[in-house]
Chains A and B, each alone.
Chain A
């Protein structure tokens, strides 16, 4: 019987396998950020432990950092957390992309960008969207602070082997439909917990045709479907993305690595615990209307009614009340006051290029506040070299420094209570973007269209106002 890529990577990393115990798994790479690590380092200090492999650990600052005047941190506790990370990295010898570093950015954006994220690896971070790194054909998952400490001390984790789920999407995506729509569609169809206990392998024509950036968008939101990890088998797209990046293997070492990475793909006769097959051409541009990512519909649909029976009546009622929406209301009737392009789901250079390409000569709708927060300082620099910042600014977008920003609003960025935000981030939980804020998860293209029109439009048929018209 053949093996799936999930089993192959898992087996390669087993340090000890004993009866009645989870496997002791070797971790190739751990990312660290300021919010979930201070207590882990404190734990090490209390017990006099060291970091076993500082060379397999990489830290950045992202959640708390301001996106304007980044050195002027008014929030004292946030400043304390950033200083703690700096101090801990110095004390334990860990590389840190701090506020001064051109490499600083959202942890899940910089890992791939710097070539740290590579196929076949086991990767962890004290952050649930670590699943993003699965786009490279690695097993990457979020962990809690105790596990962060465990990996720092031992470079291993006790893990029970998850079940495997093969999620195949075939066919071609429609015009204006992209990776974000695909993953929102999947979660809305199968629910926010369909992936619990599984690692997902995304395969089929749709994922094969995606760029690395799009694959990252999909894998990023695996956790929104309950799966700790999701991955795509590495292929030429993966290898050419990695080649030449700062920490990627070079020359002959790279060639050897590629040979090895090629062997990771699932065998033809691999068996999975569950398989799902979908038709990509049936996927519409998606908009979330509720308070979890499963509460999303095609832009041409109506908000579900209690009588449809697709949602728990109490959950539906609470969600619509929070969102200030009504059952049966058309999605295209929802007006937005904020647009946020950013977060580890959609803030990479390709996302910004796509967004900017729709903005040439356009203006942000009156009464809409729109903001672009690049995923990393590298993305920011690249975008500025391409003149994208000028396009955004000319259209009326704010252009910021990199960080998590309005994705969760731990820094000063946020959405006021009762106002609606078209957001390219990954979570629309109550209060996520600010107390009472109403988040709608969308793709960058849908977010730009919402910025121009002030509401959601079906970008398959929508035509941007003619340049220069009033």
Chain B
């Protein structure tokens, strides 16, 4: 996982609520056994028509959103299934940051395991960013260590982030190697506390 500290990038606005993982990456693309190459299928049904051409009214097909690495979205983003293919597709397409008023729990976790930073701002702040974001070339900076989002024209907001996940992301650590340092505790748990029943 690539470490993320201070990140500046172009924004794309997706003013929709309850965007579910079935839309982010439709099921027909879940059959691959690799982690890579999902970006081409991101938002497939919204992005392309039956002939495979771009749908001009879909947000990410619009000129001002091309090349964006920060997605600004509505509440409850990523609801639905646990498919990690959703963050894989977002990352592969080029998004490193998603900002929304709220996220579905599993999706949020999946993002953090893959080096995508899910940032929760208030509805008002997100609304303001959506307004600004429709300007072509609008850029934001995310300072993860200091938990701040700001732009060049006076917007500044702080966000909450669990210190544990922050440390993971900022250092780009492999979580399993961290947990392996707890081997003694896990062993002693298994010896003393395992449930009685075998399965």
Contact = CB atoms under 8 A, between A and B. Distances in A.
Answer yes or no: are A and B bound together in one complex.
yes
Interface of A: 12, 15-16, 20-22, 24, 26, 28-29, 35-36, 38-39, 42, 47, 49, 55-56, 58, 63-64, 75, 77-78, 80-81, 84, 115-116, 118, 120-121, 126-128, 130, 141-147, 149-150, 153-156, 158, 160, 192-193, 196-197, 223, 226, 228, 247-249, 253, 256-257, 260, 292, 312, 314-315, 318, 408-410, 427, 429-432, 435
Contact of A16 (B33, B45, B182): B182
Contact of B110 (A144, A292, A312, A430): A144
Given A64-B31, A150-B176, A249-B197, 5 more contacts: A35-B31, A36-B84, A42-B34, A142-B81, A193-B75
Given A256-B196, A409-B27, A226 B105 contact: yes
A412 to B, nearest CB: 12
Interface stretch (B2-10, B15-23, B61-69, B134-142): B15-23
A94 to B, nearest CB: 13
Given A21-B164, A154-B180, A257 B34 contact: no
Nearest to A16: B185
B157 interface: no
Contacts of B105: 196-197, 226, 228
A247 B199 contact: yes
8 contacts: A12-B193, A22-B162, A24-B179, A29-B199, A118-B199, A145-B35, A145-B110, A249-B197
Interface residues of B, number: 53
A115 to B, nearest CB: 8
B106 A196 contact: no
B199 A146 contact: no
B163 interface: yes
A427 to B, nearest CB: 7
Given A39-B33, A49-B176, A435-B45, A143 B82 contact: yes
B182 A253 contact: no
A142 B193 CA distance: 24
Contacts, number: 185
A348 B101 CA distance: 38
A154 B18 contact: no
Would you call the interface of chain B mostly helix, strand, loop, or mixed? loop
A430 B22 contact: yes
A249 B198 CA distance: 7
Nearest to A78: B31
Contacts of B110: 144-147
A15 B164 contact: no
A192 B176 contact: no
A153 B176 CA distance: 7
A429 B21 CA distance: 9
B107 to A, nearest CB: 8
B141 to A, nearest CB: 26
A428 to B, nearest CB: 10
A405 to B, nearest CB: 12
A432 B113 CA distance: 26
B82 A121 contact: no
Contact of A147 (B81, B109, B185, B193): B109
B179 A144 contact: no
Contacts of A257: 196-197
A365 to B, nearest CB: 29
Contact of A150 (B45, B179, B197): B179
A118 B82 contact: no
A312 B31 contact: no
Nearest to A122: B195
Interface centre among B15, B17, B45, B87 (most CB of A within 10 A): B17
Interface string B23-58: 100111011111100000000010000000000000
Contacts of B176: 47, 49, 149-150, 153-154
B20 A292 contact: yes
A81 to B, nearest CB: 5
Contacts of B35: 39, 42, 145
B127 interface: no
